[in-house]
Amino acid sequence: MRFQTPLLPARLLRRYKRFLADIELEDGQQVTAHCPNPGSMLGLTEVGQKIWVEPNDDPRKKLKYGWRLVELEAGHFVGIDTGKANSIVREALVEKSIPSLDSYDRLRAEVKYGQNSRIDFLLSHADGSDCYVEVKSVTLKRQDGLAEFPDSVTQRGTKHLNELSTMCAKGHQAVMLYLIQRTDCVRFAAASDIDPIYANALDVVVGSGVEVICLSTQITPHGIWVDKVVQSGL
């Protein structure tokens, strides 16, 4: 997935009210940018952090910059826009670059199912069999090489796990897909100390047949792409 507009480097001054960030552009101008991440963004909001933002000239948007990346040491990047995760995964599904999901013939997004929920992707075979795929964006790292989810308590995430388990019980394939939007991680685990209810639910649904797929990404200021399947501690 390529960014629609070339990104600009900037420096983070502060992130507040979840969706707002004050930043300083290279020319010294200080502006407020949209922060497209409702999570805690633990470890990613230090003052002075180098970031990359996407400008826009849309008259309907009050904020003219959107925060997209954090640049880390040693050339690593983190994609902080949770809204981009589905676009990245959709591109990989269309290109059939996720091996365990490459046999499906049809792809639909945001399909209603379960108890007033929408599945991120519903994949179908010509024979009528379905696969329900829920996508979560992962940005948390507290240990070397280990990506974790969630970075804050997520009742909604637990609900999604239970919905997947229900689909599995009905005979469908159900997949919890974690997209690791950072280039410095090679493993994945649930952050059980942050949200033990979610971590326990994940263990339960995996035991009931829900599959877990963890994907790393390639990230540059030009775009974000699925890289490969990584190890899960589940």
pLDDT at position 115: 86
Rounded distance, CA 19 to CA 22, Å?
10
Do residues 196 and 152 touch, judged by C-beta distance below 8 A? no
- In this structure, what is the dihedral angle of CA atoms 165, 167, 168, 174, given to the nearest 10 degrees? -90
Q: How far apart are CA 213 and CA 219, in angstroms?
A: 19
Q: Is residue 179 predicted with pLDDT exceeding 80?
A: yes
**30: β partners:** 24
DSSP character for 177?
E
pLDDT tier for residue 26 given thresholds of 50, 70 and 90: very high
SS3 of the chain: helix, strand, coil, percent, to 5? 20, 45, 35
Taking only the tens place, the pLDDT of each residue in 139-160 is 999 999 999 999 999 999 999 9
Q: What is the pTM of this model?
A: 0.95
Q: What is the C-alpha separation between 134 and 113, in angstroms, rounded?
A: 12
Mean pLDDT of 222-230: 96
Domains by residue range for the chain, with CATH: 8-79 (2.40.50.580), 82-232 (3.40.1350.60)
pLDDT over 80 (residue 234): no
- pLDDT at residue 204 tops 80: yes
